[in-house]
Structure 1
Amino acid sequence: MSTKRIIITGATGLIGRRLVAELRNDYHLVIFSRDPARARSTLPGAADYVAWQPSEQGPWAAAVDGAWAVVHLAGAPISTGLLGKRWTPEYKAEIRDSRVIGTRGIVNAIAAASQRPSVFVCASAVGYYGPYRDNTPLTEDSPPGRDFLAQVCVAWEAEAVRAEEYGVRTVRLRTGLVLDPTSGALPQIMLPFKLMTGGPILPGTQVYPWIHPDDEVGLIRFALENDQVRGPLNAAAPGALSNRDFAAIVGKVLGSPSWLPVPEFSLRIALGEMADLVVYGQNAVPRKALDLGYQFRFPTLEPALRDLLDLPEPVKR
């Protein structure tokens, strides 16, 4: 095992759990958590568990001194489901503050450290590019949007970039829709198909920038261990699809019809402003990852879904 120490925030989340499993046999992991006792029972095997919350400073900052890397994944959930929290002004403030203030505090700790980390990997999202209803390709050089999520991402990344002022290689991971069969958006996407009422969300032309969690974790490790990776990094599979094609493949994998369209107005009634997550999209192209040699394990959707759902490949006739 390497003696290098990596601090991880958001370790009990969808990606954090998988990242800890990926790294714990190779590095000394320090888990920053609001509930260290819960993190210890959920994620055994880390070197230490430190009480942390998204604030500009705190006693946890001392643990950053001497760490080789920081992976900052924490933030209030963007998508809360049909029965979850709507984007009220209060919850929108929580979404923003949990990211902006939390990142500001991590970078403040980096600045104060006598031995600063070599690399800082900070989560962001493809929402940076704003809402699209078409397949306009968006690389890491594309400009930001102006909607709520884009503004959150711009402010979030602005805090992360400050780490570069202190000589720390900084990677801003712009993540798409992470597919997971038990949490996140995928169970909600699959539900109408399981009820035989699945179909595209109109207009159907919007592109869903999805990624298999193994590749999300793989890109984080790639960013940690490859000194050439810096700046923004799109974390989305190269096989991005329109919503219409995405729905067709979900229906095929689940053996369900996929023709019943979902009108935008019904989603607006159910979700309010949060409907923007599904009626718009971003064709986020992972240009930098591909140029630097990252090999996606799951570049196309059907094999990714079959792997996640433990379903066999169809028999070829």
Structure 2
Amino acid sequence: MEKLASSLGYLNKIYENLSLVDDEQLESLYHDIKSAGVIIPSGEGRSKGALSIACSEMAKMKHGKIIMDRGDIGFPGREVGEAAPILKQRFGQVCLLINSGSGRSLSPLLDAQNLAVYIAKTGNNRDFRIDAVTSDLESPIGKLATRYGNALLLKGREAIEEPDEAREFRDVGVMEDTFVLASGLLFHGISEALYDEALPGRAYEYALETCREAIEIAERSIASEFYRFVVDKLEARHLCFFAGLGSSHEVVRMTAVRVGHVKRAVGDQVFVARETSTPSPRAGDLLIVVSNSGETEIVAGWCKNFKRMGGAIA
């Protein structure tokens, strides 16, 4: 296994965890996703965000997937078990795709249990699949996925017995999101391989390649003026807003969860553009924009309005 030497220790750990993914588990997961007519992404918090980013890309491909989130207004049922036969009739094979480090998160667990009951009742585990990426194959979600689909083991943060004083200085970052970031890279690799209509092994290669690129970008960014500008603004007592469209919207929603944890600790809040609870900005507030082209008309309009109201833009 190739060793990386990032100054950000937890990035090295993410790469190491990706390198340990089992080939057979990845192949089985890849084939289920490739065969699916419709994918129902399920997870909580940043785990859901990591999955949603890749699903957004899958939906935009020429021969892409139908992505039906349980929170969509067009979801044809009160729960997954009720919607499953309707989705099967409309789109073909149904894949409940779960991302959960612990394998015990409530929302995806309920989704898995509901679909498992339906599969057990009908005996049809060919057209209805429960697939999961988790750090614990013995967890409730891990066991359901193993029985009614496929489960892939992806290591996350490890429990380390150490004195309280030592915990103040750790190399994994304050949020310790090793599983979330690794799973995001893995799902990205899968979406890239689907786009290329490649073999499952290519998904693994894509994930590692992207991880290496991300490490290089992170190393450059932490020494940049932009990074210092954002950190200084986040330290100030102002609200923080995130904005993006499409896949970028999923990125900013995922990022806002963690930045919000830090900002709320000092009495501030974080909002995402286009959410129903987003207030109007005030002078001094910060807007962080994620855009691939940097020229999207709607996003450019947000920036102009935000600047006109006295806010800072990153």
TM-score normalised by structure 1 residue count: 0.38
> Larger helix proportion, structure 1 or 2?
2
- Structure exhibiting the larger radius of gyration computed from Cα positions: 2
TM-score normalised by structure 2 residue count: 0.38
